[in-house]
Every structure is written in structure tokens, then in C-alpha cells.
Structure 1
Amino acid sequence: MIDTPRPPAPHRVLVVLGTRPEAVKLAPVVRAMVASPRFEPVVVTTGQHREMLEQMLTALEVVPDVRLDVMRERQDLHGLTSRLARELGAVVAGAPFDAAVVQGDTTTAYSGALAAFYEGIPVAHVEAGLRSGVATDPFPEELNRRLVARLARWHFAPTAPAAENLRREGVPVEDVEVTGNTVIDNLLWVVGRGLGTSAFPPARTGGGPRIVVTLHRRENQGDTMAALARTVADVADARDAEVVLPLHLSPAVRDAVLPVLGDHPRVRVTGPLDYLDFTATLADADLALTDSGGVQEEAPSLDVPVLVLRRTTERREAVDAGAAALVGTDPEEVRRYALDLLDDPGRLRRMASVANPFGDGRASARVLERLDRDLTP
């Protein structure tokens, strides 16, 4: 009787996520692992976006194996980081993981990478190499992603410029893999299934444009965000626009936005939209005004031009390609730029027609191919 060789044991991989963007960008990686006999994912959620996360994970067909509860009301970064380090450390202590996967630039990502590093677990960084060039902008995300780069074994860069950033910082060329961005994998998965409901009315209420607005960035909170909210009102009034603004749960965001836009007749302020509904809403828009990183990546695949309400962006590819414009946070400059663009249909169409520079929908497959190759004895 001939013995049939047993297939090698699957790679047991810790996947750490805690925020909505992390869930969106790691969901296709987890789904691909679940579908592969080569991987055994163990998904840990930290609850950094506790209220927003569970419904999204269900919609994205991701089932957490461990649920942490790190958030406390008005918790500062000191408290969040120390709680994450302690609780993630307890998860990985002595556990037989072959690798750990973190995504992006959140405090969850940094703490997950650190906890894994302390236990000798090699770290894979998805969406590696993004840089604004300013350590405090965005805060604390720019520093978080630089720190994760120092801890990671694999650097999965979404674009060639991101990979070049890592090489300039001394990351070995062989440790960097250009994959595209997993957010495009997930976007195409959602759109292909026709999931989500737009927050815009089914029929347009007037002749003006439809604009989706997101504001949440920490460095914009306070007076800057209140001024940007007033600019949104001005643009809506000046061009009879329909505006949808999904409001972040942060008290600081709500304190800045609601007094200005809460009762505005042309602005629909909603609660946080789940990922499926937000994707449908974004696809229904003519223009996006945002300080979000994810919107800069997703909108080009939906043919929606983007005005980035920040002083810097680590996603220069969209700006360089012409799908987005970095307009800053000065209220008058934002107002002028938005109105000029809305008054130039040809320019608006050109921005909408730019091919997405962030990927082709196969990023997750490339991540798994590299991990399998390096983890297989």
C-alpha cells in the first residue's frame, strides 16, 4: 500500500482590525483566506469603531473569532494605545500564529503589529508605503504607518509610488510587493452584487448636482471643520445642490457640523452609513468633498471626482492622475474650487473618466500568493 503524502498544514494567520476602513480593506483578504485550503485566518476585532463594525463585518461576510472592547467614552490616544497593546498582547501571547496581518495606519494597526512583533510573529502590512511627508499630518496616522513599516516583514504596497517610499526609507526591495489596493477588490465585490441603498432620493429634486461630503479627520476638527461645514452650505445654496453628509459618531465632529448643517434644507445629514449604503451613495453622486483616505481610492472606480479637504494627502496617485484635487481647508479656496468645477462640465467629466490608479481587483490574491510562497517550508 502506497502512503499518500498529507497536504501541508494551512498557515494560521492572525488578522487584526478595528475600524470601518480596516474592515473594508481586509475583508477581501479574509474571504480569500477562508476560500483557500492554504490558510486558516483568525480574525480579531478591537472595537476601535465599535458601533460601526459588527454590521459591516456581517455584510462583508467576515466572522470575527475574537472580539475585544477597547473603546471608552472620549478616550485619548494614550488610553487607547495602552489598552490595545495590553489586550492584543494577551491574544498573541504564546499563540501558534505563522503570521499577523494589519492594514493601514490606525492605532489598531500599529498596536497589532507591535504585539505580534513582541511575540516573534512576522507582520504583513497591507496598504504599506503611504506617506504624506509630514509626521503630524494626518495625525496620528502618518506616524502610525511609519512605525508599522519598522515592524513589518512584508510590505504590500498599493502602488509603485508607495513602494518607492518604502525603498527610500531603507526597506529591502525583496520585502516590498506592489499588489494594488484591496479596497478595489472589495468595491468590485459589492458593486457586482448590487448591494446597498443610496441615501440620495431615487429621483433628483432639482437641476443641481449631487454631492456627497465626509468630514472626520482629527486635524480638521474644531473651528476648521465648522468653517468647512459652512462652505458646504454655501456651495449647496449657490448651485441648488443635493448634499448627503453621513455624520461620524465622534462628538467633536458632531459638535462642529450639526449646528451649521443639521437643519439645512439642501443637506441631508444622516447617521453613519454602513459600507454598502455608502458605496451606493457615492456611486450616485456627481462630486465628493472629503477628508477621508478611502473615498479618494474608491471614487475613481465609480467615476466620481474628488475634492480632498486636507493640506496633504498620502494618496497622491489620484491627484497626479487627475481623478482628485487637493484643495486644502481654507473655506474660501474650497468654495471657489468647488463652484468653478461645477460650472465646468467638461472638466468634471474628464476627472470622472480617469482610470483608477489604485488597483485592478486582484490585490488580495497577490497578498496570499506571496504569503503562501514565503511561509511554505
Structure 2
Amino acid sequence: MGSLKKRIGIVVGTRPEAIKMAPVYLALKDKFDVDFIATGQHKEMFYQGLSPFGIKPTVDLKIMEQSQSLESVLSKTVTGLSEMFKDKKYDMVLVHGDTTTTLGGALASFYNKIPCAHVEAGLRTGDLDYPYPEEANRVLADDICTILYAPTPWSWDNLKHEGLADREHLVTGNTVIDALTIMQKRLGINTDEKENLVVVTTHRRENWGSPLEHICAAIKDLALEFKDFKFVFPVHLNPVVRRVVYSVLDGIPNLELTDPMEYDDFLKLLARAKVALSDSGGIQEEGPHFGVPVILLRHVTERPEGIPRKIVFLAGPDSEKIKEYFHFVVENTWWEYVSNQPNPYGDGRASERIAAHLSHYFGISETIPSAFEEVF
């Protein structure tokens, strides 16, 4: 049997990564010597995601700058992490998802000959422009990572079709469900207490400009039509997003525009909602956990498992489709249906599976963890 204190570096840079990797850190820290490494791709929003779990980064590279470019974020991430990796000598690095930090962490690991595990591997839309640049980030990261932790059987199928069937892997479920389970218990969230509440989020780069204008126009029409519903829209801090949102939606009596919320406050809000309108990847997974149907403001999704189950509706930034799906959900009280469906994205044990797999990988344990299986 090997040492219980193999050194692992968890690399994160954005708020969603912080949320999704916090349970992984908590599952690993008793078995391994773990560093939680922040690149600083996000600043205030990153710490909003991390603070509810009581975790502080071991180090923060603080790469964020005003009006930062993708090229700048990637180059500073690879350079900063490489300097750290030369000193720390990790036995394994974990990256998550599809951000520029993800790609930078995978590249820095590859350049320094450190095995890298990709959590949330295999998500695909099949179109490098949607989402941009995330689709390219995750494809490139998967190609150079040593271990692939696919969240669902569908995502593992994508990797097999790309010729990665022989790569070390495990289907784990998505770690965001672990995070929700932790926070739900901690906060005492009751998903049965629904209100006439609609949660709205939108931030994706491919929706900037005209698509975001169409989304906001639909939201305005719905808010004016459904006056007995309150619409709450935590607006992303990016000025490109805020400029459009406030110009179209400010001043509508039953529509509240807020700054981004602390993670625990947002979860309490989402759990009470009857509908979510979002272009977020994470909310596609979080909504079903709380019995909330999601109208997805994107052309394509890398998380299609919810669509045939009718817990996610693919509307795109199309005003008429958004309004059509909203009418369907409200007129059929569809949140009652969603509340009784199993979540195809995870069961709250993904982090436990990752910890068990790494223990087996390093020879610490002889137990091979079972894979996550979707329930239909």
C-alpha cells in the first residue's frame, strides 16, 4: 500500500469551479495533502462561491485585471502555475470543467509532467462556437489529461467516440449536486415551499449583443404579462451584460435586478422558484435538484440529459420560444412534475467516488468505486 499523503493540487479560477470543486477538496483532504489553488480568473465572485464551504485558497495567483483578454488569462495561468508546480512537486493536479483556468491548469500540468485529472470531462455541444471558448477548452483539456472524470454516461460516450476509451476514467455524477446536498442540509432548505418566483441569469459570451437584447425583450414581456410572478435577476458584473440588461429591464415593478448573490442566498432563492430562465450550465443541473424547470437560453447544450425528460427546455435566445415554454411551464404547473423526477446529473456522491478512485489509483485502497448510473 502507498502513502496516505500523496500531494494533490486543485486548480480553480471562477465561482462555478469553486462551488463544484469545494466538495472534492472536502472529500480528499483527509486522505491526501491537498492545496486549493486559485488562479484569480474571477475575484469577488470566486470568493462568493467558496466562502459558504469554509475553504480558503492555499494560494491565489491573482491574475485578474481590468478588461482581461482570453490570451492574457491563459498565458498568466500557465506561467503562474508552472512556477508553482516546479516548487510543489504534486503527484496529481485536478482541474474542473471548461474555463480558461481549466485549460491553463491542464497545460501547466502537461508541461511539467504531472498527471492531471479532469473533473466534469466529456461535456460536448459539438460546436466550437457554442459555448465559446469553453467547448475548445474542454476538448483540449481532455486530450492531455491522465484521468477523465465524466459526470454522466452520455459524457463518457463522447470521450469514447473521440478515441479516449483507454484513458483512466470514472463516471462520477456531477460534483455540483454534492455541493447542493451539502448546502441544502446546512441551510435547511425546503424545496416544497414554492412561490410565484422566477429566477433569471444570463452571462454567456455567445449571447452578448443582439441575442441578449432578444432575451431581455422576452423577459420584459413575460414580467408585464405575469404580474402575479416576481422575477429576480442577479446581473453578472460584466459591463457588456449589465449595459443591455439595465437598459431593457430596469424599472419594471415585479422584476428585481440585483448584483450577483452569495451562493447560499442564491440557492435559497432558486429552491423557492417555480421557473428558472438561464444560459448557465450549472443551473441546468441545480434547477432539477430543487424541482425547478429550466428554460435554457442557449442554442445547444453540453448537458442534454434533461431535455428528453422535460426538466430542461431548449429555447435559445429566441423571444417567442422563451415565451412559449414559459407559458407551458406555468399553465401546466410543471414544477410539480420536475419535483418528482430523479436528477440525471448526479446523486450527491461524485466527490466520494473521485476520492475513492484516486485512493485506488495511488495504491492506498484496493476498493474500486462503482460508477454513477442515471435513473430513468
Q: Which amino acid aligns with 1:273?
A: M
Q: Tell me the equivalent position of 1:223.
A: 210
Q: Tell me the equivalent position of 1:22.
A: 17
Q: Distance in 2 between matches of 1:344 and 1:297?
A: 21
Q: Distance in 2 between matches of 1:124 and 1:283?
A: 32
Q: Which amino acid aligns with 2:213?
A: A
Q: Deviations over 1:210-252 (max 9, x none)?
A: 1000010000011211221121111111111200000111111
Q: Tell me the equivalent position of 1:239.
A: 226
Residue 361 in structure 1 maps to residue 348 in structure 2? yes
Q: Distance in 1 between matches of 2:24 and 2:248?
A: 40
| 8 Å Cα contact 1:31-1:61 kept in structure 2 | no
Q: Tell me the equivalent position of 2:26.
A: 31
Q: Distance in 1 between matches of 2:265 and 2:87?
A: 40
1:61-72, aligned counterparts within 5 Å?
61-72=54-65
Q: Distance in 2 between matches of 1:141 and 1:320?
A: 24
| 8 Å Cα contact 2:92-2:114 kept in structure 1 | yes
1:1-377, aligned counterparts within 5 Å?
8-34=3-29, 36=30, 38-173=31-166, 175-194=168-187, 209-240=196-227, 241-345=229-333, 347-376=334-363
Q: Which amino acid aligns with 1:334?
A: I
| 8 Å Cα contact 1:247-1:270 kept in structure 2 | yes
Q: Which amino acid aligns with 2:303?
A: R
Q: Tell me the equivalent position of 2:368.
A: none
**Alpha-carbon shift at residue 351 of structure 1 (Å):** 3.3
Q: Determine helix, strand or coil for the equivalent of 2:187.
A: coil
Q: Is the alpha carbon distance of 1:33 and 1:214 closer, same or farther for their aligned partners in structure 2, counting shifts above 3 Å? A: same
Deviates more, 1:363-372 or 1:97-106: 363-372
Q: Which amino acid aligns with 1:33?
A: L
Q: Distance in 1 between matches of 2:220 and 2:135?
A: 30
Q: Determine helix, strand or coil for the equivalent of 2:88.
A: coil
Q: Distance in 2 between matches of 1:86 and 1:203?
A: 48
**Alpha-carbon shift at residue 195 of structure 1 (Å):** 6.2
| 8 Å Cα contact 1:235-1:339 kept in structure 2 | no
Where does the alignment leave 5 or more consecutive residues of structure 1 unmatched? 1-5
Q: Determine helix, strand or coil for the equivalent of 1:349.
A: helix
Deviates more, 1:83-92 or 1:175-184: 83-92
**Alpha-carbon shift at residue 299 of structure 1 (Å):** 0.9
**Alpha-carbon shift at residue 376 of structure 1 (Å):** 2.6
Q: Distance in 2 between matches of 1:145 and 1:83?
A: 19
| 8 Å Cα contact 2:194-2:271 kept in structure 1 | no
**Alpha-carbon shift at residue 17 of structure 1 (Å):** 0.4
**Alpha-carbon shift at residue 260 of structure 1 (Å):** 1.1
| 8 Å Cα contact 1:197-1:281 kept in structure 2 | no
RMSD: 2.0
Q: Is the alpha carbon distance of 1:137 and 1:154 closer, same or farther for their aligned partners in structure 2, counting shifts above 3 Å? A: same
Q: Determine helix, strand or coil for the equivalent of 1:163.
A: helix
**Alpha-carbon shift at residue 176 of structure 1 (Å):** 2.1
Q: Distance in 2 between matches of 1:203 and 1:286?
A: 6
Q: Distance in 2 between matches of 1:274 and 1:188?
A: 17
Q: Distance in 1 between matches of 2:172 and 2:241?
A: 34
| 8 Å Cα contact 1:197-1:276 kept in structure 2 | no
Q: Deviations over 1:100-120 (max 9, x none)?
A: 000000000110111011101
| 8 Å Cα contact 1:323-1:352 kept in structure 2 | no
Question: Alignment identity in percent?
Answer: 39
Q: Deviations over 1:246-282 (max 9, x none)?
A: 0111111101101111221111111101111111110
Q: Distance in 2 between matches of 1:348 and 1:364?
A: 28
May I ask how many residue pairs the two structures share in their alignment?
362
Q: Distance in 1 between matches of 2:284 and 2:166?
A: 27
